[in-house]
Structure 1
Amino acid sequence: MEKADVSTFESKLLRPTKPGNDDSWAFLVLPKSASDTLPRRGRTSVEGTINGYLFQATLEPDGQLSHWLKVSKGLREAACANIGEMVAIQISPANPEPEPQLPDDLQEALAVSPAAKAAWEDTTTIARVDWVHWIESAKQAKTRKQRVENACDMLSSGKKRVCCFDQSGFYSKSLSAPQAAD
């Protein structure tokens, strides 16, 4: 990590109002000044520390041109970080950007479309992050299914990047940080 790439700040560890099936996670929102040092407004992988404990994670866009971080129970416990408390954070962009985890539905669709799979393998890691982000940002199952189909069609036709998708959520307001419980 070069010194210029490192952002150091404090943030409050928050409990989400709607944690889904797993209520053990928490989150924190990066100050905009820390997000401004990152290479992208969309999903961005970072490495750093929470209360001095090393971690690597992918930040999510908060729809306000900043990012938020989902903090698992394991990471919270290892970093001695309790919900409701301020935590010390130090982050820098991951270099290189790690490969995104391929969602099962996209993996299945690529498996039956050799042209789409070949185009997928010929794209950059950042482009694959954007494709996965676009699919996973769908709010409804029907929309997600359509996006998987469209992704395979677009990849098969030679398209290597998702266009017209606001990875930050700022213009479409499609993405945001979770709401914090009181």
Structure 2
Amino acid sequence: MGKSDALVFETKLHRPSKPGMDEGWRYLVLPKSVSDKLPRRGRTSVEGTLNGAPFVATLEPDGQLSHWLKVSKDLGEAAGASAGNTVTVQIAPVDREPEPDLPADLKTALAAAPAAKAVWDDTTTIARLDWIHWIETAKQAETRQRRVDSACDMLASGKKRVCCFDPSGYYSKSLSAPQAAE
């Protein structure tokens, strides 16, 4: 799918019920019919516009076989959009998935495990995204540490894909869009 095949849709911009420390962000959920045309159910990087304002972002899986997009305060302002507004979105998958940022704990663990690091370096960008997402979806620090340790063990044994991780969140329900405050 190239830029000429951009997907255009309208949807509502929501305010999350639990925004965390950053009160300014909003989000939108893609219609399933639009997500169905994307290259994968998991994290997918796109470029596009929100009410004409350009952005590049990574869509997150919503656990319902669709995706959601975090809209920063700056993008919302550039698009002239507030929570509750219907927005026009145009997206297309990026030509090449950007290399993910390596979390500090995983970076440290890989540096201490040369065999794991070698396999990590030999995996695809999408596989690395899945490993990172699996680690980052841990809800407790102990679970996260276990996942970092397990990732290094699995990688060192030659495993290039994380096992038992559903990147769409549909089967394991590990991923979902935020709850709307409205």
Pairwise same-fold verdict (TM > 0.5): yes
Cα RMSD after superposing both structures: 1.0
- Map Cα deviations across residues 45-91 of structure 1 (whole Å, 9 max, x no partner): 11111111111100111000000001111111122221211111001
1:3 alignment partner AA: S
Task: Determine the structure 2 residue equivalent to 1:63.
Answer: 63
> Is 2:162 the partner of 1:177?
no
Unaligned runs of 5+ in 2: none
What is the aligned length?
Answer: 181
Secondary structure at 1:88 match in 2: strand
The 5-angstrom pairing of residues 30-41 of structure 1 reads 30-41=30-41
1:3 positional shift: 2.9
- Map Cα deviations across residues 1-26 of structure 1 (whole Å, 9 max, x no partner): 3433x210011111100111211111
Task: Determine the structure 2 residue equivalent to 1:94.
Answer: 94
1:59 alignment partner AA: L
Output the CA distance in 2 between the equivalents of 1:81 and 1:122: 42
Output the CA distance in 2 between the equivalents of 1:174 and 1:124: 23
Output the CA distance in 2 between the equivalents of 1:2 and 1:61: 22
Output the CA distance in 1 between the equivalents of 2:174 and 2:42: 12
> Is 2:32 the partner of 1:27?
no
Task: Determine the structure 1 residue equivalent to 2:128.
Answer: 128
Output the CA distance in 1 between the equivalents of 2:95 and 2:156: 29
Secondary structure at 1:9 match in 2: strand
Output the CA distance in 1 between the equivalents of 2:56 and 2:68: 14
Secondary structure at 1:34 match in 2: helix
1:27 alignment partner AA: Y
2:120 alignment partner AA: W
2:30 alignment partner AA: L
Task: Determine the structure 2 residue equivalent to 1:144.
Answer: 144
Secondary structure at 1:55 match in 2: strand
Secondary structure at 1:10 match in 2: strand
Secondary structure at 2:14 match in 1: coil
Output the CA distance in 2 between the equivalents of 1:115 and 1:48: 39
Task: Determine the structure 2 residue equivalent to 1:78.
Answer: 78
Output the CA distance in 2 between the equivalents of 1:53 and 1:21: 25
Output the CA distance in 1 between the equivalents of 2:180 and 2:45: 23
Task: Determine the structure 1 residue equivalent to 2:111.
Answer: 111
Give the TM-score of the pair, scaled to structure 1: 0.96
Where has structure 1 moved over 2 Å in runs of 4 or more? 1-4
